Chains A and B, each alone.
Chain A
Amino acid sequence: GDSVTQMEGPVTLSEEAFLTINCTYTATGYPSLFWYVQYPGEGLQLLLKATKADDKGSNKGFEATYRKETTSFHLEKGSVQVSDSAVYFCALSLQGAQKLVFGQGTRLTINP
């Protein structure tokens, strides 16, 4: 079935480090891909998205490129800040369906 797999957490980095959180997916057809973020005490927020192969989503310094050939949508940021500490979820939405399929989430902690 359709699924999303994220790299195991937790991930702990120092401020200004480079971040990569891996995400791969299995899906029939051509899904849209999303990254959601959940800051402590808050609800899930859409961080960025890509709707077709080779699209790059970007927001708040984060980027992810839809790679159809490797079925991946890795999240990257060049220089992380303490305020980026949160849980990050990769998700997909299939064509013709309204539901999202989420990965298990990756907890990121940034130390000053």
Chain B
Amino acid sequence: GAGVSQTPSNKVTEKGKYVELRCDPISGHTALYWYRQSLGQGPEFLIYFQGTGAADDSGLPNDRFFAVRPEGSVSTLKIQRTERGDSAVYLCASSLGSNVRDRGYTFGSGTRLTVV
């Protein structure tokens, strides 16, 4: 597609529920990234995929968070047993290849998750 698409744009869920957030990267972009942005803060890295595999998941805060990218395109971020502290904007980005140092990323508009 023309840009990175994230759905839903807004999600309200109850504490303890399971949520899935979807990211559709730019067509042909092999690298995909998830970040989390809390209110008043900069984005924080969660996980990076190169193709289908997670090349770096060091930013996932705990085992309630999991992400997949089974066909090397669309990715889903999954959060189990949600907590109020998980409330944030979840950003997805993609890039052509893995040369982020020269190109940076293209970000989606994010999914605003609110846990009540």
Interface residues of A (CB under 8 A from B): 4, 32, 34, 36, 42-46, 49, 51, 89, 91, 93, 95, 97-105
Is there contact, CB below 8 Å, between A42 and B109? yes
CB distance from B73 to the nearest CB of A (A): 18
Interface residues of B (CB under 8 A from A): 3-4, 31, 33, 35, 40-45, 48, 50, 55-56, 59, 91, 93, 98, 100-102, 104-110
Pick from B41, B93, B98, B102: contact of A105, CB under 8 Å: B41
Pick from A43, A44, A45, A98: contact of B100, CB under 8 Å: A98
Nearest-neighbor residue (CB-CB) of B45 within chain A? A99
Is there contact, CB below 8 Å, between A44 and B91? yes
How many angstroms from the CA of A102 to the CA of B46 in the assembled complex? 13
Is there contact, CB below 8 Å, between B102 and A44? no
Given A43-B4, A44-B91, A93-B100, also A100-B105 (CB < 8 A): yes
Say what secondary structure dominates the interface of chain A.
strand
Between A and B, 8 residue pairs with Cβ closer than 8 Å are A44-B91, A44-B107, A49-B104, A51-B101, A98-B31, A100-B45, A100-B105, A101-B45
Contacting residues, chain A, for B50 (C-beta < 8 A) = 98
Nearest-neighbor residue (CB-CB) of B42 within chain A? A102
How many angstroms from the CA of A100 to the CA of B101 in the assembled complex? 9
How many angstroms from the CA of A68 to the CA of B85 in the assembled complex? 37
Is there contact, CB below 8 Å, between B42 and A91? yes
